[in-house]
Amino acid sequence: MTIYEVIKRPIVTEKGVAKKDSEGTLCFEVARDANKVLVKAAVEQLFKVKVADVRTANIEGKLRRRGRYSGYRPDWKKAYVRLKTGEKMPEYSDI
């Protein structure tokens, strides 16, 4: 699995940006079968920073309806990556 298959996209939300500014934590959508070791290696290689720890969460797809038709959004995986102290916080536009 390449680093671009492990990390799908950054999650830029109010909560994600607040964690980035206050705690030095980046938030990404990652592949469903990626583990913490793969996520850590991908972030270190892509952004050239040192990672302190990685937390992952499996998010279940929500039920969505359009009139009488209903379906589920796909399940996905989120990773919170905390950088070591003293590391420069990368901007997502630098990729």
Domain that residue 57 falls in: 3-85
66 lies in some domain: yes
Q: Is residue 91 in a domain? A: no
Quote the number of domains for the chain: 1
Assess if residue 59 is contained within a domain.
yes
User: Does residue 95 form part of some domain?
Assistant: no
| pLDDT in the model for residue 75 | 97
Domain-located, residue 53 = yes
Which pTM value belongs to this model?
0.86
Burial 60-87 (b: 16+ CB within 10 A, else e): eeeeeeeeeeeeeeeeebebbbbbeeee
Q: Is residue 68 part of a domain?
A: yes
Rounded to the nearest integer, the mean pLDDT of the chain is 92
| pLDDT mean over 37-49 | 95
CATH of the domain at 80: 3.30.70.330
